[in-house]
Every structure is written in structure tokens, then in C-alpha cells.
Homo-oligomer: A and B are copies of this chain.
């Protein structure tokens, strides 16, 4: 008998009918001989409805009270799912985050889980019950309700699985697994049976938004086997996210990720001296603008060019900040481009296999795609190109690395 934690997201529980569908899924796994803990999100639309009411009262509502407000969303789902399970003859019991002591820090709306008291859940499992837990929420040391931020239900599920030493944590989504790239871009994209945690981290942060990145980190840290499955398809084993080297000969390249919504900013001709990077990025970070790639290289006249990418929606704001910074630094000018995309090759295999980068650049060059920026990590190579090359670039690389077979 295996202990499985299953997580169903907002779309999967978006109506009474879908909640009943989830109940049937849960029962099926249960009837197959598993012990089940279910983590659920708020019904899709509910969180936005609640936020809408708050925003009509206050432009900047208190983070503490927002958490009190939005945490009701999952609480509604856990109760309804238990009722649906009861109707199918399953014994089930619901718990809010505070009720099972999902202890977090006090960072309202983006709290981090510190501990889970699994005694109560364990007792229910041993009594033969299905346990239904509200995702996304917890309680801090003062007894205040906290939330983990959007998508945090994935993290709840992984944390529950870690606390209970579950055999598997199954994340049900609207896709049936992790693909070599987005099937809407490359029809030959192939579902991966498994992928390593590190690859998954790179894939997730680069735009294949299947799982919340913090959940994947968490799973890696606590050695929780994670599986992504479709909550709509009746069949299929999804994609298992594995620990590297666990008897698996890792494929060289796992897949191709991309991000459409990037913009690029360059400060040209900054003095090549210590502290410049901080002077440029400090004000950007103070304005809560997240920076993605950062590239700096020396120009010919003892000055450097400093380039970074950000989310496209922050472009205007970031450019304004940079104009002031450039003046203070006596830089030559600020250049920008908001029509760029990032394409990344991801795979643990590239660590031990030389020539991946050159093969990537050759393939893009052959199609006449100009590379504007390059950034590499141990298991990832990212390039920035003109946004018009997104589809062509992804397909070219998918074929060059034979990902369809």
C-alpha cells in the first residue's frame, strides 16, 4: 500500500461538477489500494473575486487581512470535496492550513513553510480516511493566517508529502506531463516519461510553467518523488521528476524552454570599475523589478556595456530609472529592445558532453537567426533573439537535438 499526496489546482476544482470529477479520481486511486492525502486550490475565479472586493475597498490592502480573505477560497474547496467523497462512500475529512499546523514565517502573501505537524493527518490515514488539506495557506507562530502566494498549493502538496514521507507527490494539472518543448510551437514535441529535478527547475523558470518553481525546489530538497499528471485525461502516467543518477541514464538534453515576454536594456559605455553593476541594478531592484539574464563585457575604450533582461511589462519603468543612473555614472547612453525572446536548451547531459553549445549556435546560424545575448549555466544555455524568431528557433533546436525520438 502506497501513501500518495495528490494536488488538484483551481481549474481542476473550478465547479461543483469538476469537484465531483476529482472525487471520482481520488476514489479510483484509493480503490487501487493507496492511502491518499489530497491538497486542493481555490475554485478558479474565486481568488480573483475576493481580490476584486478587497481592491474596491483599498488600493493597497493590508497583507495580513488579504491572507485572511483569500484563504477562504481553499477552505470552500476542501469542504465541498469532502462532501463529494462522502457521496461516493469514502470516509474523508478536511483541514485548513492552520488546522494541520502548516507553520510558516510571517511574510504574508509569500510565506514560506517551516514545519508541518503531521500527527493529525497520520491518525486519519491510519483510521482509513482520505484527508483533504487546503493548499496555499498556513499559520505563523502568532496564530495569524498566512498564504504562500499564487500557485503555492504545489508547495503545500510537496511539503505534506515530505512531512508524511509519502511514496509519491502527484500534481494534477491541465497538461498530461512535461514536454520537450511547447507542443503549440513544435507539434513534434514529445512527453517526457521522466526528467531530473534540476532540469525541471530550469524548464519551469524559463516558461514551461507546469509546476511552481518553489515546489520543485522543495521536492528536491526533501527527496520527494514528484509526478505531473493530467486531471482531465483518464489514462497516462504523466512525467516523473527524478533525482539525477537514480539508476537512470539521463538524456543529454531534456527540452527547450522559452520566454516570450522579455525585454532587454543596455547601459553603454559605463566606467569599467568596481561597484558599477550594483549602481545599475540597485535602483532596479529597489523598484521591485525582477532581473533575469545579466551580461557584461568590456568595450574598446576602457568602458563596459552592461545588459540585462526583465519582464516586458516593466520595460518603461526600468528604462526611466536607468536614464537617471546613466547620467550619474556618466555612461554614454541607455539602449533598449522590448521585442526579444529567450530560448533555452536544458539538460543535465550537457555537463559531461562537450560541444552542445557549438551545436546549438550552428543550428541557429544555419537558419539565419542572430544571437543577441548568451548566458550559460551548468545545465542550461540561453540565447536572446528577436521575437520574430521564437517559433523557428524552438523548432530548429528541437530537430537539431533529435528531441522527437
| A residues in contact (CB < 8 Å) with B | 16, 19-20, 50, 53-54, 56-58, 61-62, 64-66, 68-69, 71-72, 75-76, 78-80, 82-84, 86-87, 93-94, 96, 98-99, 120, 143-145
Contact = CB atoms under 8 A, between A and B. Distances in A.
A133 to B, nearest CB: 12
Contacts of A80: 53-54, 57, 65, 69
A271 B16 CA distance: 55
Given A16-B56, A57-B87, A72-B72, A65 B82 contact: yes
A16 B51 CA distance: 12
Counted per complex, copies of this chain come to 2
A361 B213 CA distance: 79
A83 B54 contact: yes
A120 B142 CA distance: 10
6 contacts: A16-B53, A19-B57, A54-B79, A61-B83, A69-B79, A99-B143
Given A16-B53, A16-B56, A20-B57, A93 B79 contact: no
Contacts of A143: 99, 120
A86 B68 contact: no
Nearest to A49: B76
A146 to B, nearest CB: 12
Given A93-B64, A143-B99, A57 B84 contact: yes
A50 B76 contact: yes
B76 A96 contact: no
Contacts of A82: 62, 65, 68
Residue of A65, A78, A87 with highest tally of chain B CB at under 10 A:
A65
Contacts of A145: 96, 99
A84 B69 contact: no
Nearest to A61: B83
A12 B54 CA distance: 18
Contacts of A120: 143
Given A16-B53, A82-B62, A76 B87 contact: no
A108 B120 CA distance: 20
A87 B16 CA distance: 36
Nearest to A59: B87
A246 to B, nearest CB: 39
A62 B76 contact: no
